[in-house]
């Protein structure tokens, strides 16, 4: 058959060569009268040998069977490629495609059926499924290699016809669904392996990766694997969250949640499909965090705040941010400040230390706000609102104590304090001053204490005194500090009068002596 085709092709080539030779000879002879050259082409194609299609298909089929049986191929690749090309050129591509599909389907069906009832050991069974899949991929690539001409011509030119690769995937998907035991056992095995890994066992991640890529390639990942996987994940973390909340303190629980979320992220990069990351992490966050927000705050927030546990509070803030629970954290902060601050402000026996205690408390909150709460503006406003509430719990008493605290700091007896430290303390006190609603009470006490310091010469620094008044003027306006500034002018005027009197007295004394 092939010899006849070669003879026909050779005859055509000889005819074309003869025409070319004649034309060449005519160019070499002297010019002659012009004659028309007429070339008559033979009508019709070379006649095909009997049983051409069946014999050629037998060659291709033998090669496909050898590929599936992992046996040496009886024909070389070039001969097989030419055989497929000939069938396509002689308009037999449709039948060839159907026959290749039938051979592939028979083999795939047989292979998947052979997995039914295989090893009860899930890891061994998963390895068998992986081997089956890897073999099919390699086999379909080899079949596509010998039938590449079919793939590039007939398949591309014919609507609704799958490429040989996609046809192989479709057949595998079809017969996997016809073997529900195999599919169910595969999914169960995958879920068991992931559970084991969550419990700390080392597993074959490469095996998981290959099988999940198989599910993705077959287009069954979402329905066959992802849905049951997310359900199992939800159950796993619901149980673990409840157990760990009872057994662990809040810092350890938050560290555990942080670790678990990192592990789930890692799974997505190593063997899960990228599309699973968002629903997977959301499932873990819901069971480990959202369900326990109130319990976490009730059990550990005050303890962390009391201990200035900046790192643990930062972890809490970051995790709560992930599940949109910052409002719950902000409310807990407000309650904590009001509760702790009330103990400072309302304890009359500790009035002497009230202002310094409030300053220390505010400094601690500011540090936590900056380092743990990411300088969140809503949290800053919460701190301000809570402090304003605290400062005004006892009406005028805090205003009086703040004025006395400033008096103590500005007195000459306050040794061991540098100008920078004094300035810093005054700035902090000014923050408390802003929260006072009855600023006139503060003004009255401050004015009285300032007068004593100035009249008795007890002020530590006139510059510090003026700096404080300048700060108050910035906060409350010139009307608030007019009288205070007037006191300085009176003192300066008095000093000038005294100096003048002393000078005149000394002059009179000299005159009398003279």
CB of 4 within 8 A of CB of 49? yes
Helix (H, G, I), strand (E, B) or coil at 346: coil
Per-residue pLDDT of the chain (514 residues; tens, 9 = 90+): 334 433 333 333 333 333 333 333 333 344 444 444 443 434 445 678 888 999 999 999 999 999 999 999 888 889 999 999 999 999 999 999 999 999 999 999 999 999 998 888 999 999 999 999 999 999 999 999 999 999 999 999 999 999 999 999 999 999 999 999 999 999 999 999 999 999 999 999 999 999 999 999 999 999 999 999 999 999 999 999 999 999 999 999 999 999 999 999 999 999 999 999 999 999 999 999 999 999 999 999 999 999 999 999 999 999 999 999 999 999 999 999 999 999 999 998 889 999 999 999 999 999 999 999 999 999 999 999 999 999 999 888 988 999 899 888 888 656 667 788 888 888 999 999 888 888 888 888 888 888 888 777 777 777 888 888 888 888 887 777 667 766 666 665 555 566 566 666 666 666 666 5
DSSP state letters, 86-132:
HHHHTT-HHHHHHHHHHHHHHHHHHHHHTTTT--SSHHHHHHHHHHH
Alpha-carbon Rg for the chain in angstroms: 46
Q: 373 phi and psi, to 5 degrees?
A: -105, 20
Residue whose tokens read 């510090």: 464
d(Cα 185, Cα 205) in Å, to the nearest integer?
A: 18
With beta carbons less than 8 A apart as the criterion, state whether 254 and 321 touch. Answer: no
Contact 150, 86 (CB under 8 A): no
- For residue 212, give the nearest of 204, 170, 118 by alpha carbon: 204
Can you tell me whether residue 411 is helix, strand or coil?
strand
Using the CB atoms, write b or e for 289-321: b if 16+ within 10 Å: bebbbeebbeebbeebbeeebbebbebbbebbe
CA gap 247, 510 in Å, rounded: 93
Q: Could you tell me which residues come within 8 angstroms of residue 404 by beta carbon, excluding any fewer than 6 positions away? A: 355, 445, 449
Residue 329 near residue 304, CB atoms below 8 Å: no
Question: Tokens standing for 58?
Answer: 């037998």
Q: Where are the alpha helices (DSSP H) in 346-455?
A: 354-371, 377-391, 397-410, 419-435, 439-455
Cα 375–Cα 376–Cα 377 angle in degrees, nearest 5: 110
Query: Distance (Å, rounded) from C-alpha 327 to C-alpha 23?
Result: 94
């Amino acid at each position: 058959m092939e010899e006849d085709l070669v003879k026909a092709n050779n005859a055509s080539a000889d005819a074309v060569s003869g025409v070319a030779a004649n034309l060449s000879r005519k160019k070499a002879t002297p010019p002659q009268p012009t004659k028309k050259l007429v070339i008559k082409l033979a009508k019709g194609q070379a006649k095909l040998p009997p049983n051409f299609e069946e014999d050629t298909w037998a060659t291709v089929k033998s090669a496909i069977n050898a590929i599936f049986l992992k046996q040496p191929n009886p024909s070389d690749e070039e001969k097989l490629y030419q055989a497929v090309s000939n069938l396509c050129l002689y308009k037999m591509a449709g039948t060839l495609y159907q026959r290749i599909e039938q051979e592939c389907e028979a083999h795939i069906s047989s292979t998947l059926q052979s997995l039914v009832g295989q090893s009860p050991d899930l890891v061994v069974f998963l390895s068998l499924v992986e081997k089956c899949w890897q073999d099919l991929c390699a086999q379909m690539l080899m079949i596509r290699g010998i039938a590449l001409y079919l793939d590039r011509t007939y398949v591309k030119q014919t609507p609704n016809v799958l490429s040989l690769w996609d046809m192989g995937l479709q057949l595998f998907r079809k017969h996997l669904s016809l073997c529900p035991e195999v599919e169910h056992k595969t999914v169960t095995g995958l879920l068991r392996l992931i559970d084991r890994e969550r419990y700390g066992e080392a597993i074959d991640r490469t095996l998981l990766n290959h099988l999940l890529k198989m599910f993705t390639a077959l287009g069954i990942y979402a329905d066959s694997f992802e849905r049951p996987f997310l359900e199992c994940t939800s159950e796993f973390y619901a149980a673990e969250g409840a157990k760990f909340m009872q057994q662990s303190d809040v810092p350890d629980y938050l560290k555990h949640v942080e670790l678990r979320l990192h592990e789930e992220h890692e799974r997505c990069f190593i063997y899960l499909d990228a599309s699973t990351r968002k629903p997977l992490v959301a499932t873990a966050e819901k069971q480990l965090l959202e369900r326990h927000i109130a319990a976490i705050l009730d059990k550990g927030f005050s303890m962390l705040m009391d201990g200035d546990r900046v790192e643990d509070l930062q972890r809490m803030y970051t995790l709560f941010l992930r599940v949109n629970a910052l409002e719950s954290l902000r409310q807990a902060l407000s309650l904590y400040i009001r509760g702790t601050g009330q103990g400072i402000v309302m304890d009359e026996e500790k009035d002497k230390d009230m202002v310094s205690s409030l300053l220390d408390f505010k400094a601690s909150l500011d540090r936590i706000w900056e380092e743990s709460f990411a300088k969140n503006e809503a949290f800053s406003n919460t701190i301000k609102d809570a402090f304003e509430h605290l400062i005004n719990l006892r009406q005028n008493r805090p205003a009086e104590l703040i004025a006395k605290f400033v008096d103590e700091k500005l007195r000459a007896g306050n040794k061991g304090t540098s100008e920078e430290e004094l300035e810093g303390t005054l700035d902090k006190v000014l923050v408390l001053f802003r929260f006072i609603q009855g600023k006139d009470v503060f003004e009255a006490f401050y004015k009285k204490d300032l007068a004593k310091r100035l009249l008795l010469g007890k002020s530590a620094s006139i510059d510090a005194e003026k700096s404080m008044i300048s700060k108050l003027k910035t906060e409350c306006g010139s009307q608030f500090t007019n009288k205070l500034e007037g006191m300085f002018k009176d003192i300066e005027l008095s000093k000038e009068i005294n100096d003048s009197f002393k000078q005149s007295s000394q002059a009179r004394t000299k005159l009398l002596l003279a």
